[in-house]
């Protein structure tokens, strides 16, 4: 490809509305352009990287026995009504009507559609295991799209669905996908962790997320310092340290705390550690008020609490509800004397003589003891783990916290969808059985963005070669000089014929300009053809990542590039 005939609109300045580095660099490198909030044009360079990831995904999916198909982006409401998700999915599911007023939605995922295919066509246990996948554009009307391709509303996703005769067969399919995912992200050159995860709105019995480690990641994950345990904080557990404190209960004491509302303020005012306080949170579960009790230095894990309560919605209550439940303005809530359901975290269960709000303005209570002073309905793990918590799986290990970008997610679905949609088969005994399913997603665009988050420097992107839009760029410093032109063309020919993807920068620009662009768009290998070195029959080969430069005869440079590409792929 000749740069002068190609289309790479690079930007010298950083667009103001790009927050994270991958977004900035993809814009600057001319890979993407925004069309609307969370909706992007993929320009040629960006598309090439996307295609690279897609192809790696396809190769590994095929190797793992999955079969590609393509389902429509627009899907009829009936299927979603059958599974119950037409109601359950929030406004994220973009519902649309056709000219006859018939209802459809833009596919945010395809469990319903693929299950419909299978229930129609699969009748016998002999037809399984079956794993169908597609690479499709999805649409989810995200509340707040951001970070470029990391959280778009429209995005490209590979989604696979496995169908098996029973739970243990489904486990085998799941494991195959898990292994395939490991290979995919390794081949993409990513530093990632597979972590245990919550199943969210997809539902199911078990799941792992594949997280690319990056400061800008939207998810918090933990891993054990000693064993293999790793989990999303949404899911991560930690055993309670030590036993119950055996301190003698002291008499309850009221203490005035004028205008001290937050845990920090009260702890400082009373001179007690945050861990000796209990925070009282008022929530609304499907509209019913619920109170959650947590140690002062801990945070509520809403997902754990939601699972525990079995409710569809859970949100922090507004000021009016707090006032109604506690009889006090926000900031002075406590468990003593409350009439509503109270859930306390396990770490609270072992506390004695702690500080809480007094359910009256400017009042807190000291020496509160749960069994004596209030009625807790349930004790359960409802908090987020914190750095340094003990590992739930091994003795001695402690949990470390990281930020991660979720690029892949695998689920064991069980029979949730197959039951709702009646996907059944006849077993060897001629008995009707329900199909066991799994589903497996990879965000393609997000994977490219995550790779850039992990691979860049001040000058721009540093693409891992397997997903780079081009393997090699030839910077011809002055195409007007016959010798430079000739040598550049020769190198271009030889590399292209060898299957190396080459971009020949034949533009009439100054050298510095070409170098800056080459660095920005992140091509892993660069050959510089300049008249001075060419006089000695040599060209310069520079590796983008290491910055390593070598002066070589033309033939040798070509051979080195060929070899480097062969090794990396």
Partner RNA sequence: CGGGGUGUAGCGCAGCCUGGCUAGCGCACCUGCCUUGGGAGCAGGGGGUCGGAGGUUCGAAUCCUCUCACCCCGACCA
Q: Which residues bind RNA (CB under 7 A)?
A: 10-17, 19, 28, 34, 36-38, 90, 92, 109, 138, 140, 142-147, 151-152, 155, 157, 198, 200-202, 209, 218, 302-303, 314-316, 406, 409, 441, 443, 446, 459, 477-478, 480, 508-513, 515-520, 528, 530-533, 540, 542, 549
For RNA, the closer CB: 28 or 295: 28
For RNA, the closer CB: 234 or 345: 234
367 — alpha (psi -120 to 50), left (phi > 0) or beta? left
Q: Are 538 and 554 in contact (CB under 8 A)?
A: yes
Shortest CB 371 distance to RNA, Å: 31
Shortest CB 350 distance to RNA, Å: 27
Measure CA 15 to chain center.
24
Shortest CB 67 distance to RNA, Å: 21
Shortest CB 143 distance to RNA, Å: 4
Residues 6+ apart with CB under 8 A from 8: 29, 30, 43, 44, 45, 517, 521
* Residue appearing with tokens 């037809």: 127
For RNA, the closer CB: 207 or 257: 207
For RNA, the closer CB: 293 or 529: 529
Q: Are strands 378-380 and 341-345 parallel, antiparallel or unpaired?
A: parallel
Shortest CB 9 distance to RNA, Å: 8
Shortest CB 217 distance to RNA, Å: 11
Shortest CB 49 distance to RNA, Å: 16
For RNA, the closer CB: 9 or 377: 9
Measure CA 47 to chain center.
21
Shortest CB 564 distance to RNA, Å: 18
Shortest CB 468 distance to RNA, Å: 17
CA distance 251 to 276: 16
Strand partners, 520: none
**What are the strands, taking DSSP E only, across 112-226?**
130-139, 154-164, 192-196, 206-213, 219-224
End-to-end Cα separation, the chain, in angstroms: 20
Q: What is the CA radius of gyration of the chain?
A: 29
For RNA, the closer CB: 133 or 354: 133
For RNA, the closer CB: 230 or 518: 518
For RNA, the closer CB: 278 or 518: 518
Residues 6+ apart with CB under 8 A from 147: 19, 20, 22, 23, 216, 218, 449
Measure CA 200 to chain center.
13
- Secondary structure (3-state) at 256: strand
For RNA, the closer CB: 187 or 542: 542
Residues 6+ apart with CB under 8 A from 377: 341, 342, 343
């Amino acid at each position: 490809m000749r740069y002068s005939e190609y289309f790479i609109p690079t930007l010298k300045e950083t667009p103001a509305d790009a927050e994270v580095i991958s977004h900035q660099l993809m814009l600057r490198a001319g890979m993407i352009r925004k069309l609307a909030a969370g909706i992007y044009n993929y320009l040629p360079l960006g598309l090439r990287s996307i295609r690279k990831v897609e192809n790696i995904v396809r190769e590994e999916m095929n190797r793992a026995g999955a079969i590609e198909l393509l389902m429509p982006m627009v899907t009829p409401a009936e299927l979603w009504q059958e599974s119950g998700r037409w109601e359950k999915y929030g406004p994220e599911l973009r519902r649309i009507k056709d000219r006859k007023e018939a209802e459809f939605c833009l596919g945010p995922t395809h469990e319903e559609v693929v299950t419909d295919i299978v229930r129609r066509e699969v009748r016998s246990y002999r037809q399984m295991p079956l794993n169908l996948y597609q690479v499709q554009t999805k649409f989810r009307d995200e509340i707040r799209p951001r970070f470029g391709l990391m959280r778009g509303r429209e995005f490209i996703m590979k989604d696979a669905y496995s169908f098996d005769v029973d739970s243990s067969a489904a486990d085998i399919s799941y494991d195959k996908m898990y292994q395939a995912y490991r290979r995919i992200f390794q081949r993409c050159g990513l530093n990632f962790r597979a972590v245990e995860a919550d199943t969210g709105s997809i539902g199911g019995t078990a799941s792992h997320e594949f997280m690319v480690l990056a400061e800008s990641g939207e998810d918090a994950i933990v891993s054990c310092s000693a064993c293999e345990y790793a989990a999303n904080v949404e899911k991560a557990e930690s055993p309670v340290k030590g036993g119950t404190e055996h301190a003698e209960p002291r008499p309850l004491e009221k203490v005035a705390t004028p205008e001290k509302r937050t845990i920090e303020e009260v702890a400082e005012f009373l001179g007690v550690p945050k861990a000796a306080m209990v925070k009282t949170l008022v929530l609304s579960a499907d509209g019913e008020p619920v109170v959650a009790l947590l140690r002062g230095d801990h945070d509520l894990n809403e997902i754990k609490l939601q699972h525990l309560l079995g409710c569809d919605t859970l949100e922090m209550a507004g000021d009016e509800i707090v006032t109604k439940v506690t009889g006090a303005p926000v900031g002075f809530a406590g468990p003593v004397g409350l009439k509503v359901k109270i859930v306390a975290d396990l770490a609270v269960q072992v506390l004695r003589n702690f500080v809480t709000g007094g359910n009256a303005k400017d009042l807190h209570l000291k020496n509160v003891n749960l069994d004596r002073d209030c009625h807790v309905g349930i004790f359960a793990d409802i908090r987020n783990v914190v750095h340094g918590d003990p590992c739930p799986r091994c003795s001695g290990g402690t949990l470390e916290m990281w930020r991660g970008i979720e690029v892949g997610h695998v689920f064991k679905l069980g029979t949730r969808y197959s039951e709702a949609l009646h996907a059944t088969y006849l077993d060897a005994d001629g008995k009707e059985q329900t199909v066991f399913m799994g589903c497996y997603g990879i965000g393609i665009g997000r994977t490219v963005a995550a790779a850039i988050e992990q691979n860049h420097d001040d000058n721009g992107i540093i693409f891992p070669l397997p997903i780079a839009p081009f393997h090699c760029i030839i910077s011809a410093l002055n195409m007007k000089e016959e010798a430079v032109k000739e040598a550049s063309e020769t190198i271009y020919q030889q590399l292209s014929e060898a299957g190396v993807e080459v971009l020949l920068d034949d533009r009439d620009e100054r050298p510095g300009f070409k170098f800056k662009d080459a660095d920005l768009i992140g091509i892993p290998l660069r050959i510089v053809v300049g008249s001075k070195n060419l006089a000695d029959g040599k060209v310069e080969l520079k590796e983008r990542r290491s910055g390593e430069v070598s002066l070589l005869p033309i033939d040798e440079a070509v051979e080195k590039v060929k070899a480097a590409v062969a090794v990396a792929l």
